[in-house]
Amino acid sequence: MPVTKTRRSRHTGITLSRRAGMVFVLPALILFVIFILYPLVTALSYSLFDWTGIVRGDFSVLDNYVTIFTQLPYKDAIPNAFVHNILLFVGAMVFQNTIGLGLAVLLHRVRRFKRFFQTVYTLPYLVSPLVVGYLWSLMLSPLFGPVNAILKGVGLDALAQPWLGNPTTAIWVVVFVTAWQWVGFPVLLYGAALGGIPDEIDEAASLDGASSWQRFRDITGPLLLPAIGTVSVLTFIGAMEAFAIPYALGGSAGNPAGATDVLSLLFYRTAFESGSSNAIGTSSAIATLLFLFIFGVALLMTWLMRRAERRLY
Amino acid sequence: MTATTSRPVGKRLTLGSFLGSGFLWLYALIAIAPLVLMVLNSFRTMPEMAKSPLGLPLEPSLTSYQKAWITADFQTYFFNSIFVTVASVLLSTAVSLLAAYAFARTKSRIFTLLEGTFLSGLMLPVYLAILPLFFLLDSLGMVSNLWSLILVYAALGIPFSTFVLTGFFRQLPIELDEAAKLDGAGSFTTFLRVHLPLVRPAIATVIVFRFVPVWNDFFYPLILIRDQKAYTLPVGITRFFGEYQTDWATLFAGLTLATIPLVVLFLLATKQIVSGLTAGMSK
């Protein structure tokens, strides 16, 4: 017996029996099932019932889904919040792939202060989104806010305004603050990807007479694609899940007048603040759709990314 | 010519590189200025700030910290946050180490399936399942109990932690296990004495990386903690912002207090953070 065991383990990397393995996995499995798997499956089922307070009523098939698309306030609030989530995604993507990418490329070339820049760019990413939101709400305050003070100081009085009180500027503040907080991550990730490209390729192209823009477009750019793909998927998930920054900047109601509302806030309000007797049913329908949308699009993006990579290389 | 020979070709000081470093410094200012203002203003007083929003704390005052820490009860929130974060990260790391070891040292379909299930947690927006979680904890009488947060965060940490740790355990040669077995060690002793010391760098990464989101999380305590005595910092801050609306110095002091542990962690573990954030790129 011992002989066969040794031979088997050498070939397949087994040292634990199935039973011993189960004992090792068990504590994690118990936590995972109770606090993640069970709530997920149950949340889905909640959306298929009619609720009165916390009492589950009849099986209502898709009634809750019909409600959120045909009845007020949901039928207006959902598209409104959805557009804001998309703006967050697009805004962060533009910010990260212009300013973020530019910073990473520049940082790749410098030697001095590299660590310093990396540290400074990453700091906002580590601070709590709620703290970031509140901090910017003070920065942009119409009364003593430093941003308006700076604008007035340089003679741009016309631009100074109640940034968060004005419905047209408020959502852009949320977009900017989110992008500001996130930019450190792509800078680091793109930096690591750039570090992985051998200098010889660039030098060879340079000797062949390629300009620096041609070298970026035809060599560096395509080699950065996997990193850009990873950043895109994570940015999408983050933008769709946005909660703390909009909460800090516009409260749970997405003030002013829903101008900063996002889907997670809408879900939270419906579930915990609406006072509607079927709050559990409707909020679970919102949660289920958002869940499927985030997971579905994230999978689709990953798949498209893999396919694009395979075509390129 | 002689002056430039010491510099490698292509590294001359051109207009482009001058603009480039200008841009790096400018963005550094944009990234850090709000945080610097937060710290500076926390040492100033309200009348000073009303006069000039951008001044230096010429006569630094600690009154606002005293007010935030004691009057606004930040001491309670702070220690609740420390307790929840430390306990949940330790628990999550411990159970993930055991599971990761099993995933790396077994080959059977059931473990592949379990590993895949854990991994899927990395992409799923699990916070949307808050309602059943709330009812579950409520039926156990655990709403407003810090242990409810600890257990939830520990579970939420499992996907990321097992993912990182399994990768590390897989890299350890199987001969180690065989040698330990020949010496008469059981599987748990092998895990504890042979493997654990070897994956220490991965453990550090996992701890640092789970600390940040748990410390910063606002969603779960907002819903699961209804008693002010059990608030963690983020929920405490929302309450505090309502009450101290006009007392900016105290607000800045509170925000600074909530951020200090992260800055300390960052300075202690810059290497783990930078390498961890870019870990996905090494494949």
pLDDT score at B278: 64
What 8-state DSSP symbol labels residue A208? T
In degrees to the nearest 10, what's the CA dihedral of B222, B224, B230, B235? -10
Domain assignment present for B143: yes
Task: Report the pLDDT value the prediction gives residue B12, as an integer from 0 to 100.
Answer: 54
Q: Which of B19, B91, B131 has the most A C-beta neighbours within 10 Å, making it the best mutation to test the interface with A?
A: B131
Is residue B21 in a domain?
no
Is the pLDDT at B93 greater than 60, yes or no? yes
A33 and A90 fall within a common domain: no
Please tell me the predicted confidence (pLDDT) of residue A13: 56
Pair (A254, A140) in one structural domain: yes
State the pLDDT confidence band at B6, using cuts at 50, 70 and 90: very low
Q: Which range marks the domain in which residue B178 is found? A: 75-243
Closest CA to B162 of B115, B198, B229, B108: B115
Q: What distance in Å separates the CA atoms of residue A120 and residue A105, rounded to the nearest whole number? A: 16
Same domain, A209 and A132: yes
Place B246 in a pLDDT band, splitting at 50, 70 and 90.
confident
For the segment B94-113, the average pLDDT, to the nearest whole number, is 93
Residues A13 and A72 both lie in one domain: no
Q: Which residues on chain B are in Cβ contact (under 8 Å) with A106?
A: 20-21, 23-24
For the segment B104-108, the average pLDDT, to the nearest whole number, is: 88
Tell me whether residue A61 is in a domain.
no
Residue A78 forms part of a structural domain: yes
**Same-domain check for residues A86 and A235:** yes
Selected residue of A1, A9, A15 to mutate for chain B interface (largest B Cβ count, 10 A)? A15
One-letter identity of residue B193: R
Residues of chain A found within 8 Å of residue B118, distances taken between Cβ atoms: 28, 32
Cross-chain Cβ contact B105/A14 below 8 Å: yes
Answer yes or no: is A51 within a domain.
no
A–B CB contacts, 8 A cutoff, strictly below: 268
Instruction: Write the residue in A28, A110, A243 that is nearest to B21 by C-beta.
Output: A110
The CATH number of residue B176's host domain is 1.10.3720.10
Q: Which positions in chain B touch A268 (Cβ < 8 Å)?
A: 222-223
Distance from CA of B46 to the nearest CA of A (A): 10
Mean pLDDT of successive 10-residue segments in chain A (313 residues)?
A: 41 72 95 95 89 80 86 89 95 94 89 86 91 93 83 82 87 95 91 85 84 83 86 93 94 88 94 85 92 93 86 72
* Domains in chain A, number: 2
Q: Is there a domain that residue B20 lies in?
A: no
Residues A77 and A179 in one domain: yes
| Per-residue pLDDT at B184 exceeds 80 | yes
Residue B48: inside a domain: no
Verify that A149 and A42 share a domain, yes or no: no
pLDDT at B9: 44
Residue B96 lies in a domain: yes
- Please check whether residue B183 lies inside any domain of the structure: yes
Kindly tell me if the per-residue pLDDT of B160 is higher than 50.
Answer: yes
| In a shared domain, residues A42 and A70 | no
Neighbouring C-beta atoms of residue B239, cutoff 10 Å: 14
Inside any domain, residue A52? no
Mutate to test the interface with A, among B103, B251, B277 (most CBs of A within 10 A): B277
The alpha carbon of residue A27 is apart from the nearest alpha carbon of chain B, in Å, by 6
Helix ranges (DSSP H) in chain B = 15-42, 46-51, 63-66, 74-104, 109-120, 130-139, 146-171, 174-182, 187-189, 196-198, 200-216, 219-224, 233-243, 248-268, 270-277
Same domain, A74 and A42: no
User: Among A15, A230, A291, whose Cβ lies nearest the Cβ of B105?
Assistant: A15
Asked if B53 and A144 come within 8 Å (Cβ–Cβ), the reply is yes
Q: How many domains does chain B have?
A: 1
Contact (CB, 8 A) for A170 and A245? no
Average pLDDT score, chain B: 86
pLDDT of residue A102: 92
Q: Tell me which residue range forms the domain holding A40.
A: 2-46
Residue B118 lies in a domain: yes
pLDDT score recorded for residue A313: 65
CATH code: domain of residue A144 = 1.10.3720.10
Of B24, B212, B251, the CB nearest to A107: B24
- Flag whether B6 is in a domain: no
State whether residue B109 is helix, strand or coil: helix
The residue assigned the tokens 């080959």 is B107
The predicted model gives B200-210 an average pLDDT of 88
Both A141 and A229 in a single domain?
A: yes
